[in-house]
């Protein structure tokens, strides 16, 4: 399976860490050219950055753009996007949607060290609404 992500960004990464990786992606786009993989990674990281800022509508649009690129190009990140949409739903107290997204993420999880682990997903399911 193909992947657009080339570096693990921790589940609890802050704006600075996410922004730093986003800058790396943008520099690669500028240097190499924009590819579906780089574009997907850019949208995913920008969505995460917006999620940190609680800009939910903008974050959702970025996750959608990344998701479309993943589906169209066979990237495995789709489950990671489902996780972050679930995290966003949880932050908005939409717990049923969050749970459904987490289960979708768990179903697609391959425990690749570049992505959210099944343990992280299960932890989010088990602690849904407790934070």
Kindly state whether residues 86 and 116 are assigned to the same domain: yes
- Whether 6 maps to a domain, the answer reads no
| Range of the structural domain that residue 82 is part of | 76-131
Kindly state whether residues 63 and 85 are assigned to the same domain: no
Higher pLDDT, 42 or 6: 42
Kindly state whether residues 69 and 102 are assigned to the same domain: no
Measure the CA–CA gap between 76 and 71, rounded to whole angstroms.
Answer: 8
Residue 99: pLDDT over 90: yes
Kindly state whether residues 62 and 24 are assigned to the same domain: yes
Output the pTM of the full model.
0.90
Higher pLDDT, 1 or 104: 104
**CB distance 102 to 119 below 8 Å:** no
Kindly state whether residues 89 and 107 are assigned to the same domain: yes
Kindly state whether residues 27 and 66 are assigned to the same domain: yes
Kindly state whether residues 68 and 20 are assigned to the same domain: yes
């Amino acid at each position: 399976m193909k992947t657009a992500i080339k570096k693990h960004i921790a589940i609890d990464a802050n704006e600075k860490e996410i922004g730093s990786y986003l800058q790396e992606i943008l520099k690669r786009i500028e240097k190499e050219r924009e590819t579906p993989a780089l574009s997907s990674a850019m949208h995913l990281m920008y969505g995460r950055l917006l999620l940190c800022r609680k800009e939910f509508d903008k974050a959702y649009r970025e996750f959608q753009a990344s998701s479309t690129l993943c589906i169209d190009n066979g990237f495995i990140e789709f489950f990671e996007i489902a996780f972050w949409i679930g995290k966003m739903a949880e932050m908005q107290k939409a717990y049923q949607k969050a749970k459904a997204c987490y289960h979708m993420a768990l179903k697609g999880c391959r425990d690749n060290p570049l992505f959210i682990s099944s343990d992280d997903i299960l932890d989010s399911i088990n602690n849904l609404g407790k934070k």
